[in-house]
Structure 1
Amino acid sequence: MKNYEVTFIVDPVLSREEIEATAQTYVDHLKNEGCQIVHVDEMGLRQLAYPINRRTSGIYYCIEFEAPNGELIDVMELALRRDERIMRFLTAALDKYGVKYNADKRAGKIGKVKKKAKKSDDRKDSRRDNRKKDEKRKPAPKKEEAAAKSEEEE
């Protein structure tokens, strides 16, 4: 069995029940074709990068499944293309690394990286050190005074 992932965007104008029924329709369709559903993820309402059908947002769903053959992908994509509630979709075949990544992500091993608080002591910057030394120094003499000193030295 080969692993696949289909991500689709549902029109946000629909009611909550219609949106869930749309996603469940495709889950049921895959089960009827003999696929094993690994995970269904509702990613929620997100802003689109560009308008699609005059909409600027959409509700994202991702279904990860194992299929006995690739023939049912064409049938499912045709159904997604004909469905007016689906704004866009993308089907991807997953290799062993994609399957492992998705499993780790669901287990919580992969997530958003927490940024460490920066400490001024940890960061060594030569410019900062020079600035501190410059602050302790006296202001530089004016050009006239510098010229007068150089003449005295000669």
Structure 2
Amino acid sequence: MNNYELMVIFTPVLSEEDFKAAQTKFLDMITSNGGEVVSTNPWGLKSLAYPIQKKTTAIYWVAEFKGQSDFNEKLKIQLLRDEQVLRHMVTRLDKYAIEYNYKKRSGLPTGNEKAVEA
């Protein structure tokens, strides 16, 4: 199984319940197809760099998961069919990205922190 990161940009008009239902729908799809959810991170409402479908803000959500490579096509089809999804991106993570994400979730130093001089 490969490690992937899924970033979804949802329409900003979703209620909190609709946003949680959409997250649950995609997480259930991952687990029902033999995948494993590693972590999820709802970023919340953010401004967009450029308007998408005449919207200037959107709700961001990131999920890291393990799955088979053939599953990505099924996931892509469901993301494209969902009217609540403005954009999405699935990225395959290499060993360095996996280690970085683990350190970031655990609160360990990632090596990108700037040294503070006293």
Matched, 1:4 2:43: no
What secondary structure does 2:91 align onto?
strand
The structure with the largest helix share of the pair is 1
Give TM-score, length-normalised by structure 1: 0.70
For CA contacts below 8 A with separation 6 or more, give which structure has more relative contact order. 2
CA deviation map 1:55-109 (0-9, x unaligned): 1111111110111x21110010011011110000000000100100100111112
Q: Give the aligned partner of residue 22 of structure 1.
A: 22
Cα RMSD (Å): 1.9
Q: Which amino acid aligns with 1:93?
A: R
1:76-87 paired onto structure 2 within 5 Å: 76-87=75-86
Shift in Å, 1:12: 1.1
TM-score by length of 2: 0.91
Aligned sequence identity (%): 35
Aligned to 2:90: 91
Structure 2 counterpart of 1:52, which letter?
I
**Cα deviation, residue 110, structure 1:** 4.6
Distance between the aligned counterparts of 2:33 and 2:11, measured in 1?
26
**Equivalents in 2 of 1:30, 1:88: separation in Å?**
18
Q: Write out the 4+ residue segments of structure 1 that deviate beyond 3 Å after TM superposition.
A: 110-117
Q: Which runs of 5+ in 2 are unaligned?
A: none
**SS of residue paired to 2:13:** coil
Q: Matched residues in 2 for 1:57 and 1:99: separation? A: 29
Question: How many pairs align?
Answer: 117
Structure 1 unmatched ranges of 5 or more: 118-154
Q: Offset at 1:114?
A: 6.7
Q: Secondary structure at the match of 2:12?
A: coil
Q: Between Structure 1 and Structure 2, which shows a larger proportion of strand residues?
A: 2
Higher Rg of the two aligned structures: 1
Q: Which deviations, in whole Å up to 9, do the C-alpha atoms of 1:15-64 show, x marking residues without a partner?
A: 11001101110000001001011001101111100000111111111110
Where 2:34 maps in the other structure, the secondary structure is coil
Show the counterpart of 1:53.
53
* Distance change >3 Å, CA 2–CA 109, structure 1 → 2: same
Segment drifting more, 107-116 vs 26-35: 107-116
Mapped to 2, the partners of 1:96 and 1:63 lie a distance apart of 17
